[in-house]
Amino acid sequence: MSAVPNLPEPIHQNGTLEHDLDAVLDQALPKTKRIDSPTQAGFSTASSNNASSTGFKLHDTVIENQRPLKVIVVGAGYSGIYHGIRIPERLRNVDLTIYDKNAGVGGTWFENRYPGCACDIPSHSYQYSFNPNPNWSSMYSPAPEIQAYLASTVKKYSVDRFIKLQHEIKSCNWDANTSKWKVKVKKLDTDEEFEDTSDVLIMARGGLNHIAWPQIDGLRSFKGEIMHSAAWNQDYDFTNKRIGIIGSGSSAIQIIPSLQRLPKTQLSCFIRSRTWISPPFGQAIQDELGMDGFTFSEEQRKKFQSDPDHFHAFRMKLEEGGNEIHALTIKGTEMQKGAQKHFEENMKQRLAKKPEIYEWIKPNFAPGCRRLTPGPGFLEALVEDNVSFIRDRIARIEDEGIVTEDGKLHEIDVLVCATGFHTGAPPPFPVTGIDGVELTQHWDQRATSYLSLATDAFPNLFMMLGPNSAIGSGSLTMMIESVGDYVIKCIRKIQKENIYSMVVKSSRVADFLAYSDAYFKNTVFMDECKSWYRKGDIVTGLWPGSTLHCIEALRSPRWEDFEYGYAEEVNQMAWLGNGWSTNQLEGRDLAFYLMPQFQQVPVSPLPEDNGEFKTRAWSQ
């Protein structure tokens, strides 16, 4: 008898089962036939619905048809775009909205437009693993090119249908009565404000958008032009100007050589923090490719386009190179010692014209304590005649320029503050969780998280690039993809099991922090240096391990680390639906499990010898 109610029996020819599947289906169930409901197939839930002993009634829907959810994502950079790709791919019945305050997608790559702004890790490592770009112009591509890549990714995967630009989040409040987030939004083009609600809230703002201005007396008294590296005035003409630059981080390292090359400029660089400038990442691969400088030739780009195997091998070498230097972050390793010696020799050579600068800038901490930056052209710019390297502490800023503690006034026409961002800080808008606790209050002493992606007291809230999320070595975009995959698994659980509130246990947050603190004790990140990685003697910015460690840690969620609030169901198995699958009702493949793409075929005679499983043990 048929396993599906009221469907024709398999057709037998001469007493044997007909093996021509198409013929069977043509006679038994026409391909155009669609069963819109179990009732149409002759199946009734009446007997179950009258089960008065429990009061439980079947949900008259297929098992795949989980309850509708609204998901709001804040930010349309790498993280937000990733959710716009994967959520519609992996989930159903999800109403997705991605809000971004900017007029275009790309997050920090839309906002940062200072001269020389570029990725400081190889471009081919700073892209989605599934959407490689063979056309990067440079090993360190400029910001407009990265933003264009993200915009093209949005178009390619139709993410723009979910994105609402020029929509600024004003506040997010958890409503315990409805188990929903109430999100106040402002349309920047009309100043209209409205409230949206969501079951799940994902903060995908990244860590590089809350500008940190220097705390210097008299900053606003300066009469000339003032700009921050993340709020650049693209209309300002720097030609023939006296330029003051404060900072020695990644943005300053890129800005200084760009402005130094402009006609008739005079730079005063106020640099207090010592820093290691590393040789270019991927230098060995550049040498292998015969690259002259950092730009890919047209011939090399065409080779990447026309020869997928060559392009894949190049990407593999680049990723392997980034992952194999993890030992550099551990104190006392041979790699760490060798790196320091190599960096010293490289910096001395590049600063040979003014060797005193090497003594001023050379750190007394290990390479990696501060973020390593290759800084093409930075050291070379410092030794040029139109650049002054100023070590004295800034006392104040006056209307004509900067006064250092030695009493000297450095007259300038324009002041550039390359002073970075408030990293690891709460969003610049109120986020209120259980019992009215605000995230700023919750993180008053320390930005806390569980695996970087959630924090206690804030149900159904997930974070991309939250506390302890950056990578000391390896690929940041793989971290983004891994966290995104984890969050989507959480959304699936919330949806499937009729969960209305999912919040990580405070004890698990404490455990993760204790683990992180123990891990970092043996790393270079605890050396005496000033870094956005740290708040005092606590590392709050980095994942406690390597990129590969992170990918594995986030692969399989530990559901027992969370607390749940369920819908008021008599039976927690209501998610099973009515016993039917959508494939049966929508004319889809009824034996999909035999298709090669849905099978994992073991090797014989020893399945454990499967090369893929040796590389990465199987896990859900």
Q: What is the pLDDT of residues 120-138, one digit of tens each?
A: 889 999 999 999 999 999 9
Instruction: Give mean pLDDT, residues 491-507.
Output: 96
Dihedral, CA atoms, 194, 171, 154, 320, nearest 10 degrees? -170
Q: Are residues 410 and 429 in the same domain?
A: no
Q: Are residues 264 and 380 in the same domain?
A: yes
CATH number at residue 430: 3.50.50.60
Q: Are residues 248 and 113 in the same domain?
A: no
- What are the strands of the beta sheet with 242-246, ordered from one edge? 225-228, 414-417, 242-246, 266-270, 387-390
Cα–Cα separations (whole angstroms), residue 464 to 72, 108, 332, 397, 451: 13, 14, 32, 37, 11
Instruction: Give mean pLDDT, residues 560-587.
Output: 89
Q: Maximum distance among all alpha carbons in the chain?
A: 107
Q: Are residues 448 and 469 in the same domain?
A: yes
Instruction: Give mean pLDDT, residues 332-337.
Output: 94
Q: Are residues 392 and 448 in the same domain?
A: no
H/E stretch holding 440 reads helix 439-442
Is residue 470 situated within a structural domain?
A: yes
* pLDDT confidence bin for 11, thresholds 50/70/90: very low
Give the tens place of pLDDT for each residue, 402-433: 999 999 999 999 999 999 887 767 898 999 99
Query: Distance (Å, rounded) from C-alpha 59 to C-alpha 78?
Result: 38
Q: Are residues 115 and 147 in the same domain?
A: yes
Q: Which of 510, 527, 544 is the last residue of a domain?
A: 544
Position 573, amino acid: M
Is residue 607 situated within a structural domain?
A: no
Query: Distance (Å, rounded) from C-alpha 181 to C-alpha 174?
Result: 5
> Residue 363: exposed, middle, or buried by beta-carbon count in 10 A (0-12, 13-18, 19+)?
middle
Comparing 27-41, 393-407, 471-485, 537-551, which segment has the lowest mean pLDDT? 27-41
Please check the confidence at residue 46 and state whether its pLDDT lies above 50: no
* pLDDT confidence bin for 14, thresholds 50/70/90: very low
Comparing 70-84, 190-204, 357-371, 602-616, which segment has the lowest mean pLDDT? 602-616
Q: Are residues 385 and 255 in the same domain?
A: yes
Q: Are residues 145 and 228 in the same domain?
A: no
Q: Are residues 128 and 191 in the same domain?
A: yes
Q: Are residues 492 and 532 in the same domain?
A: yes
Position 219, amino acid: L
Position 343, amino acid: F
Is residue 585 situated within a structural domain?
A: no
Cα–Cα separations (whole angstroms), residue 449 to 22, 201, 292, 405, 508: 55, 16, 44, 40, 9
Structure tokens at 280: 């270019």
Residue pair 179/139 in contact by the 8 Å Cβ criterion? no
CB burial readout 429-446, b (16+ within 10 A) else e:
bebbbeeeebbeebbeee
Query: Distance (Å, rounded) from C-alpha 169 to C-alpha 462?
Result: 16
- Bridge partners (DSSP) of residue 564 are 502
Residue pair 295/451 in contact by the 8 Å Cβ criterion? no
Residue pair 245/252 in contact by the 8 Å Cβ criterion? yes
Please check the confidence at residue 615 and state whether its pLDDT lies above 70: yes
- What pLDDT is attached to residue 303? 96
For the chain, what is the domain count? 2
**pTM to 2 decimals?**
0.89
- What pLDDT is attached to residue 424? 66
Please check the confidence at residue 57 and state whether its pLDDT lies above 60: yes
Is residue 197 situated within a structural domain?
A: yes
CB burial readout 601-615, b (16+ within 10 A) else e:
eeeeeeeeeeeeeee
Is residue 311 situated within a structural domain?
A: no
Is residue 318 situated within a structural domain?
A: no
Q: Are residues 408 and 487 in the same domain?
A: no
* pLDDT confidence bin for 620, thresholds 50/70/90: low
Q: Which residues form the domain of 349?
A: 219-278+332-365+367-417
Please check the confidence at residue 280 and state whether its pLDDT lies above 80: no
Best CA proximity match to 277, nearest among 359, 213, 322, 344: 344
Query: Distance (Å, rounded) from C-alpha 547 to C-alpha 473?
Result: 7
Best CA proximity match to 413, nearest among 553, 168, 243: 243
Instruction: Give mean pLDDT, residues 73-98.
Output: 98
Q: Which of 493, 525, 544 is the last residue of a domain?
A: 544
Q: Which of 417, 432, 448 is the last residue of a domain?
A: 417
Comparing 103-107, 291-295, 305-309, 580-584, which segment has the lowest mean pLDDT? 291-295
Beta-carbon contacts of residue 320 (< 8 Å; ≥ 6 apart): none
- What pLDDT is attached to residue 28? 42
- What pLDDT is attached to residue 48? 43
553 or 601: which leads in pLDDT:
553
Residue 584's SS3 state is helix
Give the tens place of pLDDT for each residue, 530-567: 888 888 899 999 999 999 999 999 999 999 999 999 98
Is residue 292 situated within a structural domain?
A: no
Is residue 360 situated within a structural domain?
A: yes
Mean predicted lDDT score pLDDT of the chain: 89
Residue pair 270/245 in contact by the 8 Å Cβ criterion? yes
* pLDDT confidence bin for 493, thresholds 50/70/90: very high
Which residue in this structure is represented by tokens 């900053």?
219
Residue pair 394/401 in contact by the 8 Å Cβ criterion? no
Q: Are residues 483 and 499 in the same domain?
A: yes
Alpha helices in 113-171 (DSSP H): 143-156
**Which of 9-13, 257-261, 615-619 tops mean pLDDT?**
257-261
Position 333, amino acid: T
Residue pair 201/461 in contact by the 8 Å Cβ criterion? yes
